[in-house]
Amino acid sequence: MDQTQNKAREIDLVAEKAFEIQSNPGQRFSELVVRLFVECKFIQGHSVFWLSDKDEEAAERLVCHQGGGFRPYNSYTKRHHYLSEAKKVAKLFATTKSPEQDPFYKALNQVLNAQVSMKGQQLAVIDGSTSTVGGVLNYPVIVCSTFDGVYATDFLSHAEPTPLQENFQLEVQYAYANSAGSVRDEYFLIDIVEFAQLQSFSEALDRDAKSACMLLSRG
């Protein structure tokens, strides 16, 4: 539900996967849930992203507030893919389409709106009778059919755009109204993933989850 307009917004996919958190004998079985909010886009035409340095402090706060047991100044936190990959992130973009038809503009709004709207809702993958939720890692993701026609340039230079060939992140300061009607302004990183590179992205999320499980098991 889009709280600002009080109407439903579609999203292509919400995917969940549970990871077991090791517990001490006698403790109830708990699991970490990785939840993806995914928009899939067929890319036509050309798009240019302006890249600049990632806000490392904001990215670390985002990781630590996710709910996976990550803490500041911790080696496992530094391994999270938001912090260990891509020191440059996309800040702005432009395409050959109008704003209403722009695939990236629509996609970033859909994945972020879905994430904030579903905050605190029941997780489908957890059976409350046999296990409890030990933590949740949420990821907004845009999956592109191809990166052909997708280019990058430096935010602070006048260099010619060059083809983007690796998965990258889009840094967004997102303002929205929560369910109570209060206006929030939050920092997000959105993974932009080429379909052909889904395997490497999946491996990065798996490493994030294993690090979170290790930290949560220690309490």
Domain ranges of the chain: 13-218
Chain-centre distance of CA 169, in angstroms? Answer: 9
Q: Model confidence at 100, in pLDDT bands (50, 70, 90)? A: low
pLDDT on residue 1:
39
Calpha distance 175→165 (Å, rounded): 30
In one letter, which amino acid is 163?
Answer: P
pLDDT on residue 8:
43
Average pLDDT over residues 131-147: 93
pLDDT over 90, % of the chain: 58
- If we measure between CA atoms, which residue out of 100, 96, 103, 94 comes closest to residue 12? 103
Residue with tokens 């489908």: 124
Mean pLDDT of the chain: 87
Compute CA distances 152 → 91, 144, 198, whole Å.
11, 15, 20
Sign of CA dihedral 97, 103, 108, 110: positive
Q: Is the pLDDT of residue 152 over 70?
A: yes
